[in-house]
């Protein structure tokens, strides 16, 4: 039997602090709010909380633009409260993981401000290119595209600086040893405070191999010069060896543009880089080329990707929602006719795969996409990319609105729904982003009262998983991938659990040989699954102890 590490046995819960719980009635979630809900999280059964950035930030990208890595954004609280959160979580056996955003800082970070002076030692912390060094000074240094639209170059005082994201997020120059040393210090600073690891933002793009022009392609010209480079692998090994390993800390990467090969190169244990990394490939099956071209979800496409992830990646990070993604029931389920059933089905899928599950706040109570109904309801910086594409390709306003409703990042960012009135703040104040009016029905209070709720199902599945060596350590074997039915086995020491899922709103006949037995969990109330033919109800999913 293999020896699993603590983070392989854990269930992680992602908190987007701005939208989790507001304790002082300013309409913005905060640390005290999180502290006040630790018992709720303990009751759900999660072991680790990953906090999206709580560092000082001018919020151009809501915390993913950090102006001081060693201080807490006053909107969220104080360092004392952060320490209190770490220790109160620890008392409940819950660990805290922070977001590490090191590809870029905020343009308001002290390093960047200093670097505006050509003679400052900080100049070389970033990618500055002097106009006078360019053959054509009025043209930007290369043709690279920014993730958030336009060129990666911004002009300032006779020079250009590089930003893969917004112009308020200048990229750090990892060819400068001093930058690596600074990052090590920051990592150590937080590990000493007692956190257990980091979720590493766009970690595979930190090292730019050259600044040459990129190949001509539709999106993200230039990425071949920074996508998972040798330099990046070297830096990750160094951070691990010199700092992370000393603290038994774990790292989960959020690679950009990642395919299975990239993930493997970053996470294979023999490479000593990251412990695991998110793959979003199984979610990206609902678009054509890029997220702003949404297409119909075909379950079979997703099943095929998951089979590959499960079979090829040593240890998966299992993710169906986060603060950049729409809500899973709205996205791949049936929020109108089979809300509960489809919500539970994705819980069952996520919690029976091999890897570490990441549950995003609100997922456990079946929150749905935001009901934004006009383009001006959206505010995210990422919109710039869409508008640019829209201009070039002559999208209609109707098209843009539809794409945003389906794929906009703010779908996952509306406030956590605690009660029928919202319950995000203690008093009735306007939250920083619209509360979904369906809080009237979909909320924590109602979920906790109802043994048949989505919350109760997540809770049950988490407990089942924790107590099942087969679900934790067992191998994954695919059994069936058909139009709407997905079946796989988890196997350990000759014992097997079989998972069968009907990912559709139709009754579906399933024929599986040598599969049958007692049902351990189900999105309906089925108790036995007989060998041979069975009809699965809409969004019926089940785990059975195979007695063949
Ligand atoms: O996201 C990485 C990233 O590549 C996103 O731009 C992603 O492609 C997009 O959101 C999908 O729609 C991380 C953070 O999760 C995101 O919130 C930040 O904006 C981004 O990095 C920059 O730090
Ligand atoms: Ca607040």
pLDDT tens column, 504-513: 999 999 999 9
Contact 276, 252 (CB under 8 A): yes
Which position among 145, 201, 321, 382 bears the catalytic label?
Answer: 201
pLDDT tens column, 91-125: 999 999 999 999 999 999 999 999 999 999 999 99
427/202: higher pLDDT: 202
Q: Is the CB of 147 under 6 A from ligand 1?
A: yes
- Supply the residue whose CA is at minimum distance from atom 8 of ligand 1: 256
How far apart, in whole angstroms, are the C-alpha atoms of residue 397 and residue 376?
11
Q: Is the CB of 368 under 6 A from ligand 1?
A: no
Does the active-site annotation cover 209? no
Indicate if the pLDDT at residue 39 is higher than 80. Answer: yes
Residue 532: the pLDDT is 87
Residue 231: the pLDDT is 98
- Supply the residue whose CA is at minimum distance from atom 3 of ligand 1: 256
Closest ligand 1 atom number to CA of residue 165: 22
How far apart, in whole angstroms, are the C-alpha atoms of residue 230 and residue 173?
15
Distance from the CA of 255 to the center of ligand 1, in angstroms? 10
Q: In the numeric block, which tokens belong to residue 411?
A: 């779908």
Distance from the CA of 33 to the center of ligand 2, in angstroms? 8
Does the active-site annotation cover 201? yes
Q: Is the CB of 202 under 6 A from ligand 1?
A: yes
pTM: 0.98
Mean pLDDT of 491-500: 97
Average of per-residue pLDDT values in the chain: 97
Residue 1: the pLDDT is 47
First to last CA, the chain: 22
Mean pLDDT of 214-228: 94
Confidence label for 289 from pLDDT (cuts 50, 70 and 90): confident
Q: What is the dihedral of CA 539, 540, 546, 548, to 10 degrees?
A: -90
Ligand 1, residues 53, 99, 147, 255: which to mutate, most atoms within 8 A of Cβ?
147
Q: Which ligand is nearest to the CA of 252?
A: 1
Confidence label for 428 from pLDDT (cuts 50, 70 and 90): confident
CA distances to 34, 120, 140 from 123, in Å: 38, 5, 18
Which position among 154, 171, 254, 382 bears the catalytic label?
Answer: 254
């Amino acid at each position: 039997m293999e020896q699993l590490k603590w983070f392989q046995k854990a269930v992680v819960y992602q908190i987007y602090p701005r939208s989790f719980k507001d304790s002082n009635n300013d309409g913005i979630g905060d640390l005290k709010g999180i502290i006040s809900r630790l018992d709720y999280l303990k009751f759900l059964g999660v072991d680790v909380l990953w906090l999206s950035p709580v560092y000082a930030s001018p919020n151009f990208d809501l915390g993913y633009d950090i102006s001081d890595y060693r201080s807490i954004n006053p909107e969220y609280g104080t360092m004392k409260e952060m320490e209190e959160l770490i220790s109160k979580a620890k008392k409940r056996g819950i660990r805290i993981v922070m977001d590490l955003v090191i590809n870029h800082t905020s343009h308001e970070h002290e390093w960047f401000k200093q670097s505006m002076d050509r003679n400052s030692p900080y100049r070389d912390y970033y990618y500055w290119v002097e106009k006078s060094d360019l053959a054509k000074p009025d043209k930007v240094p290369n043709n690279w595209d920014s993730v958030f639209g336009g060129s990666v170059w911004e002009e300032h005082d006779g020079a250009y600086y590089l930003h893969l994201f917004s112009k308020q997020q200048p990229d750090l120059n990892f060819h400068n040893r001093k930058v690596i040393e600074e990052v090590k210090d920051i990592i150590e600073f937080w590990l000493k405070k007692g956190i257990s690891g980091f979720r590493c933002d766009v970690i595979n793009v930190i090292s730019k191999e050259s600044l040459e022009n990129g190949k001509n392609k539709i999106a993200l010209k230039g990425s071949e010069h920074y996508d998972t480079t040798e330099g990046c692998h070297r830096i990750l090994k160094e951070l691990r060896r010199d700092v992370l390993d000393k603290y038994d800390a774990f790292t989960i990467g959020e690679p950009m543009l990642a395919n299975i090969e990239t993930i493997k190169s970053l996470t294979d244990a023999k490479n000593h880089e990251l412990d695991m990394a998110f793959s979003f490939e199984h979610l990206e099956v609902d678009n054509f080329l890029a997220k702003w071209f949404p297409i119909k979800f075909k379950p079979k496409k997703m099943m095929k990707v998951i089979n590959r992830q499960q079979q090829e990646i040593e240890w998966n990070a299992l993710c169906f929602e986060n603060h950049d993604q729409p809500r899973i029931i709205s996205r791949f389920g049936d929020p109108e006719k089979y809300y509960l059933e489809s919500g539970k089905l994705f819980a069952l899928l996520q919690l029976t795969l091999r890897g570490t599950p990441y549950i995003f706040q609100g997922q456990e109570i079946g929150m749905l996409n935001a009901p934004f109904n006009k383009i001006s309801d959206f505010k995210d910086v990422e919109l710039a990319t869409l508008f640019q594409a829209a201009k070039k390709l002559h999208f209609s306003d109707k098209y843009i609105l539809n794409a945003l409703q389906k794929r906009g990042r703010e779908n996952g960012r509306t406030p956590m729904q605690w009660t029928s009135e919202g319950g995000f703040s203690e008093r009735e104040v306007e939250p920083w982003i619209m509360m979904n009016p369906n809080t009237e029905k979909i909320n924590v209070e109602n979920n906790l009262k109802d043994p048949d709720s989505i919350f109760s199902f997540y809770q049950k599945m988490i407990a089942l998983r924790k107590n099942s060596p087969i679900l934790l350590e067992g191998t994954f074997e695919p059994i069936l991938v058909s139009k709407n039915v997905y079946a796989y086995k988890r196997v350990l020491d000759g014992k097997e659990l079989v998972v069968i899922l009907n990912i559709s709103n139709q009754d579906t006949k399933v024929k599986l040989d040598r599969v049958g037995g007692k049902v351990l969990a189900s999105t309906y109330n089925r108790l036995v699954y007989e060998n041979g033919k069975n009809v699965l109800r809409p969004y019926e999913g089940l785990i059975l102890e195979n007695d063949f």
